Amino acid sequence: MTKGPITMPTPAGTAAAAALLRLPPGGPQEQDLDKLFDGFLPVNRRLRDVCSAWQTRPDGTPNDHSDGAYDDTVRDRLDEVHSAIGPVLRRMAAVEPRLAGYRPRLADALDKFDDGDSAWLASPLMDSYHTVWMQLHQELILMLGLTRADDEAREERLVSGRT
């Protein structure tokens, strides 16, 4: 279905993709990826925080990017996210090789962002860092047979330190 410039799967399309992507429940591949997903989710929260900080100042006002020092701090946090996710993605790709394509796509978006086009951080209209990340996240959710609610609760538990 198309909404303005964005094309999204219909609910039936999402269900079909879920059926195709779902790893065998309880199998070793699912178990290995599920463990690695616990390493992904805290980094996912950090990326969301980076994207929010890029768009909005700590006081809630829009970031007009007139404060270079502030933007540099946010950019440094993006580097930390990128460095943290690399090893997780390498291990995930060892479990499911089709996931290997996400690392170079994220690196490409980061390079374009560093070349001065800030749209490459979070624009939904291109393979921006955030767009690629969201595609990865959705694929992981479908592969593991999780709901968004399961995913959100698990992330919250992991970042809050609850067991």
Q: How far apart are CA 6 and CA 25, in angstroms?
A: 32
Q: What is the pTM of this model?
A: 0.91
The predicted structure's pLDDT at residue 79 = 96
Residue 7 host element (H or E)? strand 6-7
Total residue length of the chain: 163
Please give the distance of CA 122 from its chain centroid, rounded to a whole number: 11
The predicted structure's pLDDT at residue 14 = 83
The predicted structure's pLDDT at residue 5 = 76
DSSP states along 72-135? HHHHHHHHHHHHHHHHHHHHHHHH-GGGGGHHHHHHHHHHHHHTT-THHHH-TTTT-HHHHHHH
Nearest to 116 by CA among 76, 75, 162, 144: 75
Tens-digit pLDDT string for the chain (163 aa): 888 877 878 888 888 888 889 999 999 999 999 999 999 999 999 999 999 999 999 999 999 999 999 999 999 999 999 999 999 999 999 999 999 999 999 999 999 999 999 999 999 889 999 999 999 999 999 999 999 999 999 999 999 986 5
